[in-house]
Structure 1
Amino acid sequence: MKNITTLFLTILFSFSMFAKVSPSDKEALLKLYKATNGSQWITKWDLSLPVATWYGVKLEGEKVVSINLANNNLVGEIPSDIVNLGSLQELDLHKNQISGTIPSLIGSLKDLKILNLSFNKLSGIIPSSVCELSNLKDLELYMNALSGEIPMQIGALKQLEVLALYNNEITGQIPNSLYDLKTMKILLLSSNKLTGELSREVVHMTSLENFSLFDNKMNGQVPLELEKLNNLKEMNISYNMFNGSVSKSLASLDTLNMTMINDNGATVLLDVTTDKNSAIVSEE
């Protein structure tokens, strides 16, 4: 009986390996292979074998649901055809040499849950269509050369848990809609060119565990409401131009103890009070 079961599973596995992927999905994969110099990848695809055998590709039925080619020497640009993979749930191309821009119609990938294009050479803006990825939980675009502002409708991503945009050239203010994301656990915006104030609405981000604004150009007072984020374990908002006073407990939570840059470009520590209720905060 055991041998029969083993034989059945072997046959089933063989069928799954040689299952046909939809022509449109296969074409999109081939475009990605060609556009990123697939012949020079560390782990290459044997195009003579079924798509189910291709490294980093996961299928469900005839559809591609996951592409994970992280750290695989992809060089070139992401082809616009990638948006034809309508069932894609994960696209992980981090730590490669990908240049060019993020496809403007990336929002067409309605099932996408994970988008990781970090540690590449991408430039241009974050397309506003990214805000149409309603199932997205993890958006990582750090260590690129992205510019422009964070899309205003970023708050439409109601399931987003991770947003990592650090080490780019992103400008403008933090969109108000971002503060409405109660699911957000990790928010990393450090080493950009963000300006404006940190809103007291940050108090709505009740799931926040790791928060970094380090090395930007933000100003105004540090909202005391940060202390109400009970899940916050790690924070770094230093090397901005925040002013005023902060409580001792809030200062101790910051990795660099609230070290700021003043108008003369010198580093200063914010005044710390032992009574958090006496710290300067915005008027109710």
Structure 2
Amino acid sequence: MALSMDKMWKEFILVCAVLDAVFGASLFHCHEGSTCHLETTSFEFLSKFTQKQYRTIVSLTMSNASINKVDPKLKYLKNLQYLDLSHNNVQISSIPSLTNLKILRLNGNNLKFINLTALPQNIETLDISHNLLGQIPRDWRSLKSLKTLHLFKNPVDCDCNNVLNYERLIKSGIVVPESITCHSPKKICWKRHRCC
């Protein structure tokens, strides 16, 4: 049994070396026989890995990869916990349901609208900063495990409904670490914590 595990690990390292040379994939960390953190600019690795190798990947970074659609085969990465798709033009509807995904980075994707119900529902941290969102997503409650939401550097319209939505978000216990600057209107009227 130990021999077959050793053989499987060597095969995995060989595949990763080929990916590094051919597709520009780089392994950040691989812990023998268990988990891998992968950085790449192409989904081509998905057609090279076996089912066992899919299970080793817990972190995938595809930042600045000029992608607009996520390969459906990404659903095979069942143990994926961290997915960085920042600085692309990703279509939200193409992200598969990944049951173990905890952190999703979609910052810098030129998003004008985001449907949170289309995202994996177990996300704990979502980064949608540096986009073109004029509205704070109203469907944030659909992400039942959400703890942290990065919203800064969006041209947020601070109308009354949006401000009230933001207040509900904060009152629910979700952390918004960075301050949000109103794009418009520049001044908001407040009276007893109500927008007027």
Asked if 1:57 is matched to 2:30, the reply is yes
Relative to structure 1, the CA distance from residue 124 to residue 117 in structure 2 (aligned partners, 3 Å threshold; closer, same or farther) is closer
Q: C-alpha separation between the residues in 1 aligned to 2:11 and 2:112?
A: 37
Shift of 1:104: 2.0
**1:240 aligned partner:** 183
Asked if 1:110 is matched to 2:98, the reply is no
Does the aligned pair in 1 maintain the 2:23–2:44 contact within 8 Å?
no
Does the aligned pair in 2 maintain the 1:151–1:175 contact within 8 Å?
yes
Shift of 1:137: 0.4
Relative to structure 1, the CA distance from residue 189 to residue 78 in structure 2 (aligned partners, 3 Å threshold; closer, same or farther) is same
Q: C-alpha separation between the residues in 2 aligned to 1:103 and 1:88?
A: 23
Relative to structure 1, the CA distance from residue 176 to residue 60 in structure 2 (aligned partners, 3 Å threshold; closer, same or farther) is farther
**1:47 aligned partner:** none
Moved over 6 A (4+): none
Shift of 1:176: 4.5
Q: C-alpha separation between the residues in 1 aligned to 2:117 and 2:58?
A: 19
Query: Which amino acid in structure 1 is aligned with residue 129 of structure 2?
Result: Y
State the structure with more CA Rg.
Answer: 1
Query: Which amino acid in structure 2 is aligned with residue 183 of structure 1?
Result: S
Give the aligned length: 184
**1:162 aligned partner:** 125
The correspondence of residues 75-224 of structure 1 with structure 2, limited to 5 A, is 78-84=41-47, 85=49, 86-93=54-61, 98-101=64-67, 104-105=70-71, 106-118=74-86, 122-142=87-107, 144=108, 146-149=109-112, 152=115, 154=117, 156-167=119-130, 169-171=131-133, 176-192=138-154, 216-221=155-160, 222-223=163-164, 224=167
Does the aligned pair in 2 maintain the 1:110–1:133 contact within 8 Å?
yes
- Give the TM-score taking structure 1 as reference length: 0.50
**Local SS of the residue matching 2:141:** helix
**Local SS of the residue matching 1:132:** coil
Structure with the largest fraction of strand: 1
Q: C-alpha separation between the residues in 2 aligned to 1:183 and 1:28?
A: 33
- Give the TM-score taking structure 2 as reference length: 0.67
The correspondence of residues 61-76 of structure 1 with structure 2, limited to 5 A, is 65-68=35-38
Using CA pairs below 8 Å that are at least 6 residues apart, which structure has the higher relative contact order?
A: 2
Q: Identify which of 272, 275, 280 aligns with 2:190.
A: 272
Q: Which runs of 5+ in 2 are unaligned?
A: none
**Local SS of the residue matching 1:60:** coil
